[in-house]
Amino acid sequence: MSDELLTDKTVEELRELMARYPEPRSALLPMLHLVQSAQGRVTTEAINKCAELLEITPAEVSGVATFYTMYKRNPMGKHHVGVCTNTLCAVMGGDEIYETLCDRLGVGNDETTEDGMITLERVECNAACDFAPVMMVNWEFFDNQTPESAAEVTDKLRAGDKVVSTRGAEITSWREAERVIGGFEDGLADQGPSAGPASLVGLEIAEEQGWKAPAVPGAKAPVKETDGD
């Protein structure tokens, strides 16, 4: 199946992203996310178009697209499932979760299921160690996973059932998530909690003990909200 061509609308949105930055080439990262949302990966066409718009070489764009693992050169499934197998998650069960999903989905690292629904990836730290082991679906967190709960999530995704992340919005698709990362809101930012209990333990202890951050010399005191004008 051939790649979808970049549309005039996508090219205009690429120009819109460039206009958001004092230096246009600073927009390259969100531009690559945007083309992924449009084409399902970073294509040669997208690399050349970004280079043309930013007036840099295709080699410079390609260097960025191949350096960061969030940019994909192979076609992606409808959903991206990333299982953290870095040290803490691995010790807590991340390796077992990953192996279970490989067997259940019939794929290996960075491979897509035959039905095109899921691309599985073994990922590095998801910066959520207090919720280990962690899995992400289209960059939304699924905390404190087990092989059974992770398999249930992927089963629901493949069946087209509603799936909601642990700390975030209802799961849409990888392409839709890429569009949001590229800088175009989908209206779901306020869905679900943004923090979980494990992240708030320190704050709760500080409040119970009356602890406060030390004053910084020369810093302005925070403005207190008042009921009146």
**Where do the domains of the chain lie?**
8-67, 79-172
DSSP string, 114-154: TTSSEEEEEES--S-GGG-S-EEETTEEE-S--HHHHHHHH
CATH for 79-172 (2.40.50.100, 3.40.30.20, 3.40.50.300, 3.40.30.10) = 3.40.30.10
* Rounded distance between C-alpha atoms, residue 35 and residue 52, angstroms: 14
Considering the chain, what is the average pLDDT of its residues? 92
* Rounded distance between C-alpha atoms, residue 66 and residue 94, angstroms: 26
Model's pTM, two decimal places?
A: 0.85
* pLDDT tens digits for range 75-126: 999 999 999 999 999 999 999 999 999 999 999 999 999 999 999 999 989 8
Would you say the CATH fold of 79-172 matches that of 8-67? no
Mean pLDDT, rounded, for 38-54 = 97
Mean pLDDT, rounded, for 179-192 = 88
Q: Does the domain at residues 8-67 carry the CATH identifier 3.30.310?
A: no
